[in-house]
Structure 1
Amino acid sequence: MRVHIATDHAGLELSHYLMEQLTEQGYELIDHGPEEYDAADDYPAFCISAALGVREDRENGLDSLGIVLGGSGNGEQMAANKVAGIRAALAWNLDTARLAREHNNAQVVSLGGRQHEKEEALQLVLAFLQEPFSDEERHVRRIEQLAEYERTGDIAGKLAAITPRPFTRG
């Protein structure tokens, strides 16, 4: 499996560790940067590049997933999610890592480099990479609704049926 990886300065050390460990386990790693530590770097371009790599690989029939890292993983997840067709999930424990794949068929996992020890982060990434999508109809349907909204700005028959209302007590 090919794995695209990107980070910012806060996840650089973890990125190097993950690349070494995953390569030893037989994964093909594609590094989208940065090449060196810069406390003032900007993560969006790195993370978007990784997500684009995943999307291109998958469009070409390759088995490919991605990893984006930062201090919290939040901004990096947001950046990857800007790439049309990509679903990036923030994982903070084994359940969220596995469910991102099993229920959401996420193609990119995001981790906070300042939130996890290296070994724990590796376990989260492996859980994500190794978990298959369930293909359950309800999950397929929901993913298609997300894709439909991304393409059209609507979910046919769904958004118009929702009537927002103010919350009132009791």
Structure 2
Amino acid sequence: MHSRNHCYYDKSGVFLILTGTDTFSDAVETREKDRNMRVHIGTDHAGFAEKEELVKWLKSQGYEVVDHGALTFDSEDDYPGFCIACAQGVVEDPGSLGIVIGGSGNGEQMAANLVDGIRAALVWNPEVASLARLHNDANVISLGARQHSIAEMQELTKVFLETKFSGEARHARRIAQMRDFEAARK
């Protein structure tokens, strides 16, 4: 049996994908509970200004934010350390999620994915942000500061933070296969 997903924007402008058994009221109730979630964030100079804006916005939305840097603008800094620190923060803080930001988001996603237990997804539209959580249980998103306005980055972040993993067997099985590979490398 195949369940259909229903995609739409709610009255506050949040992009939702509801699976077969979800209801709109379930989604709203779940989202409200998650407002106390911690969000880890990291970037280099390429996303510094956008990170500062996202941190303010996230706090205004009720999220607790852990900033892994850069804490000051330095045009010569490098993203791997900030993104790896953000990813490690997510792994060490069960129930939290993370955001890494760079020029394109590509290198930042790669750096975050070096940390065991991280499933970082490069997102570029609301559907991809939602599917990263719904199907892949992504725990970090990567955003390209040179690709998106701050308003677009807020929308992508909101969708990511408010979407739940579907828990469907086929998706859980695939995630387990990745975890098994990760464990075998040790």
Tell me, yes or no, whether TM beats 0.5. Answer: yes
Q: What CA distance in whole angstroms lies between the structure 2 residues aligned with 1:71 and 1:127?
A: 21
What is residue 49 of structure 2 aligned with on the other side? 13
Q: What CA distance in whole angstroms lies between the structure 2 residues aligned with 1:119 and 1:3?
A: 18
Tell me, yes or no, if structure 1 residue 33 matches structure 2 residue 65. Answer: no
| Residue 118 of structure 1: how far off its partner (Å) | 0.5
What is residue 107 of structure 1 aligned with on the other side? 139
Q: What CA distance in whole angstroms lies between the structure 2 residues aligned with 1:10 and 1:133?
A: 30
* Per-residue deviation, residues 36-63 of structure 1 (Å, max 9, x unmatched): 11111011010000100000011xxxx2
Tell me, yes or no, if structure 1 residue 76 matches structure 2 residue 108. Answer: yes
* Per-residue deviation, residues 72-119 of structure 1 (Å, max 9, x unmatched): 000000000000011000000001100000000000000001100000
What is residue 132 of structure 1 aligned with on the other side? 164
* 2:76 counterpart letter in structure 1: A
What is residue 28 of structure 2 aligned with on the other side? none
**3-state SS of 1:100 partner:** helix
* 2:146 counterpart letter in structure 1: R
Q: What CA distance in whole angstroms lies between the structure 2 residues aligned with 1:144 and 1:128?
A: 21
Q: What CA distance in whole angstroms lies between the structure 2 residues aligned with 1:40 and 1:74?
A: 18
Tell me, yes or no, if structure 1 residue 47 matches structure 2 residue 83. Answer: yes
Q: What CA distance in whole angstroms lies between the structure 1 residues aligned with 2:132 and 2:139?
A: 9
Tell me, yes or no, if structure 1 residue 141 matches structure 2 residue 173. Answer: yes
What is residue 152 of structure 2 aligned with on the other side? 120
- Gap regions ≥5 residues in structure 2: 1-36
| Residue 34 of structure 1: how far off its partner (Å) | 0.7
TM superposition outliers: structure 1 runs of 4+ over 6 Å: none
Q: What is the RMSD of the two structures over their aligned residues, measured on CA atoms?
A: 0.7
**3-state SS of 2:117 partner:** coil
**3-state SS of 1:146 partner:** helix
**3-state SS of 2:93 partner:** helix
Specify which of 100, 110, 129 is matched with residue 97 of structure 1: 129
- Gap regions ≥5 residues in structure 1: 154-170
Based on CA coordinates, which of the two structures has the bigger radius of gyration? 1
| Residue 151 of structure 1: how far off its partner (Å) | 1.3
Q: What CA distance in whole angstroms lies between the structure 1 residues aligned with 2:147 and 2:168?
A: 32
